[in-house]
Amino acid sequence: MARKKFDISTLSKYPDLKIEKRLWKKGWKDLGGIDEAGRGALAGPVSAAVVILPNISGLTRILAGVRDSKQMTVNQRNLFEPLIKEISLSWSVGFASPAEIDEIGILPATRLAAKRAVENLSLRPAYLITDYLNLPDIDIPQEKFIKGDMRSLTIASASVLAKTARDAEMCLLDEQVPGYELSRHKGYGTRLHREAIQKLGKSSIHRQSFKLKK
């Protein structure tokens, strides 16, 4: 029997805890939600965050407004970042460098960043849920979900932490590698960034294996 195709049009504006409640009911107590940031950038690392939210009443109310980080403003992400960290049972962010991305490829590097994040947790998750990212090198039961950051509050929370951590790293790199305006575009292929690369060439924090799109 063919697998039923997921209907994106059924998604609400904000993620909920339907996935989490199903797994909590099955006995998976500590769920680690994972999402990444920076896969499509031309410079800087790729980041991955893992968040373990508590199974408490009112969780969706406490984190009301958290969703896929790409759909949130900078101010919204910065507002929710400390709240997510405070309420989480455990959280962590891992990175894979531009050199590692060039050496092994962006997907393996993303998996490496996720593995580092999981290994740095203070609490080992019993089960992992991801934004459609398969993690074969992590020996923990797991499940991937299409548009996971739009469906799961845990994955959406990880999305926020991955994004804010990477943005902060790109602002630091902007000070170390001036001229590319990294704090403005965070390493993505904007017109401003592409023009800077054409003028200055790629720096040491650029992904040498990524081609510059016209």
Residues 6+ away with beta carbon under 8 Å from 117: 34, 48, 49, 50, 92, 93, 94
Q: What gap in Å lies between CA 179 and CA 113, rounded to an integer?
A: 27
pLDDT at 36 over 60: yes
pLDDT tens per residue, range 60-95: 999 999 999 999 999 999 999 999 999 999 999 999
Fold of domain 15-166:
Nucleotidyltransferase; domain 5 (3.30.420)
pLDDT band at 10 (very low <50, low <70, confident <90, very high): confident
Report which of 67, 62, 65, 113 is spatially closest to residue 86, judged by C-alpha positions. Answer: 62
Q: Give the residue extent of every domain in the chain.
A: 15-166
pLDDT tens per residue, range 121-164: 999 999 999 999 999 999 999 999 999 999 999 999 999 999 99
pTM (2 decimals)?
0.94
Residue 4, pLDDT score: 54
Q: What gap in Å lies between CA 4 and CA 22, rounded to an integer?
A: 19
Q: CA distances (Å), 7 to each of 4, 65, 147, in order?
A: 9, 23, 10
Residue 212, pLDDT score: 80
The pair phi, psi for residue 31, each rounded to 5°, is -95, 125
